[in-house]
Amino acid sequence: MADTRWLDEGEQRTWRTFLAAVHLLEGSLDRQLRRDSGLPHAYYQALVALSEAPGGALTMTELAGRLRSSPSRLSHAAARLEEDGLIHRFKRLGDRRTTIAELTPRGLKVLREAAPGHVHEVRRVLFDSLTQEQVDQLRAISEVMLGELDPEGREPRYAGPNGAGIRD
């Protein structure tokens, strides 16, 4: 790190614009979800992940992997979601260290009601303004980033064409 290669003009513009855009985008999504459903975006994502799992249930560790969340963060989140009755945690017989988180009917209902507004917002702030080409570019770029940041490729799977879950 002796000699630093600073960002050139173009990189700098890209970086700052990107940072600003992402910052506003996250704020926008979070505000919409909180306002309309009382859920932070991160918690919404947890419900989505559960809804897509067979039986609406996942191990805490599996769920953390899908969300790329630390165990601790997920634990706190699950505590809150459970308190609100949106999920339910229990242990499987024969395995006393693993905890299963399961979407409750109420959680599914809340998710179903939240989804349309959320998707609408995602379209508004992102897809509505991008060309099809740009969407593809963004995917390619995101995949590169992800490859760098998550080399293990933790849970790169998505619901199939007829995935049972709630979309987002």
Partner DNA sequence: AGAACACAATTGAACTCTCAAGTATTCCGG
Partner DNA sequence: CCGGAATACTTGAGAGTTCAATTGTGTTCT
The residue (of 108 and 126) whose beta carbon lies closer to its own copies is: 126
Q: Which two tokens stand for residue 35?
A: 């306002």
Q: Which window, 8-16, 75-83, 84-92, 95-103, contacts its own copies (CB under 8 A)?
A: 8-16
- Which residues, numbered 79-138, are part of the site for its own copies (CB under 8 A)? 115-117, 119-120, 122-130, 134-138
Residue 73 contacts DNA per CB under 7 A: yes
DSSP state of 85: T
Residue 120 interacts with DNA (CB under 7 A): yes or no: no
Helices (H), the chain: 9-37, 41-52, 60-67, 71-83, 105-125, 132-149
Asked if 94 is part of the footprint of DNA (rule: CB under 7 A), the reply reads yes
CA 131 – CA 122 distance, rounded (Å): 15
Q: Distance between CA 79 and CA 132 in Å, rounded?
A: 40
Residues 6+ apart with CB under 8 A from 74: 46, 60, 63, 64, 67
Binding interface with DNA (CB under 7 A): 27, 30-31, 34, 40, 42-43, 59-62, 64, 69-80, 89, 94-100
Binding interface with its own copies (CB under 8 A): 1, 4-7, 9-26, 28, 45, 68, 115-117, 119-120, 122-130, 134-150, 158-159, 161, 167-168
